[in-house]
Amino acid sequence: MKESEPTDDTPVLEAKNLYHVYTSNEEDGNVVALRGLSVSIKSGEAVAVVGPSGSGKSTLLKALGGLMKPSAGSVYLNGQNMTRITGSDLVRLRQETVSFIFQEGNLLPDLNALDNIAQPLRHSGVRGKEARKRAMEMLESLGIADRAYSLPPTLSGGEAQRVAIGRALITNPKVILADEPTGALDPITGRRIIELFRELNEESGVAFLIVTHSREISSFANRALELRDGRFVAQHGNDVDDLDLAATRELLIDDTGTLSMPPDMLATLGGPGRFEILDIERDSIRMERVDEERLQIDEGTEMKLAPACPACGYDYGNSSVEECPTCGATRPMVPSS
């Protein structure tokens, strides 16, 4: 059956009921990395994925980007079922839709910055001269044209990550999958990369799915999904409202006072935990998760430089410096409100 043509409402990336099992002959047996996971990303949306090591984040990125085929389930890129196509058709769909940014950059060490960025264009059939011309324009837009002929080992962490971003953007992807993109960078350089992501998202409409532990990246995202044991157990963000739960669903309370609810409702609430009762009367209860258990993910939160050094208390005043002149600590970002 022919895939339907994508429309304006078609998600740029969608996964349905993904399972993946790593087979093993070891005593512990097979490892289930993904357990019926589903996610949908709209055009221009920025989504963060958070979770502990071993929760399935790397497997998820590989499956969503077509680097591996899941054991079961489907992945759609721009409305096309990627798990049903192979060979040149799969390569072409990936080239037209998705790009990767890795924590370490993964630049080709024997190619200079210019040729690293031009490489995806050459793989897609663009002639060498045109590919290098467009790669130089990309370097200029990223502010590192002066490093065009430098090899990766001679680049700083921030410069190398900008080259990696340029390589991801050169094919005009609809969605970028990023794996801890600031994890190997110092806080100030990481901050520059986050601002670049924000510009790309707001000005060019590039969608992002970012695996991260950084609150600053999470604040840039529209929403965050919490991944544990191969499942999304909670969703966070200002666009997630407990009052939006469907009125046709039922909560069951037995004689012992135990409350049961459908798994998808529990996920929208943010998963299991402690809640305080804000208001209660007959046939009605209003509750809210306790502050210390909340995952601080705020949709589009504006961040600003901290007014004082948290290490030594130095008052920055109206200064815009990013390192404390007294103790040398990096000046953190804090919510503006």
Evaluate if pTM is beyond 0.85. no
What would the pLDDT profile of 165-211 be if each residue is shown by its tens digit? 899 889 888 999 998 888 777 888 788 888 888 888 888 888 999 98
Q: What is the dihedral of CA 287, 35, 54, 201, to 10 degrees?
A: -70
Q: From CA 141, how far away is CA 230, in angstroms rounded? A: 38
Q: Identify the structural domains of the chain with CATH numbers, from first to last.
A: 13-111+166-226 (3.40.50.300), 302-337 (no CATH)
Contact 228, 265 (CB under 8 A): no
Q: What pLDDT does residue 158 have?
A: 86
Q: What pLDDT does residue 247 have?
A: 41
What would the pLDDT profile of 105-148 be if each residue is shown by its tens digit? 689 999 999 999 999 999 888 998 999 999 999 999 888 999 99
Half-sphere exposure at residue 94, Cβ-oriented, CA atoms within 13 angstroms: 23
Q: From CA 4, how far away is CA 296, in angstroms rounded? A: 39
Q: What pLDDT does residue 243 have?
A: 37
**Which segments of the chain have a pLDDT < 50?**
1-2, 238-248
Q: From CA 159, how far away is CA 143, in angstroms rounded? A: 9
Q: Using CB atoms within 10 A of its CB, is residue 245 exposed (0-12), middle (13-18) or buried (19+)?
A: middle
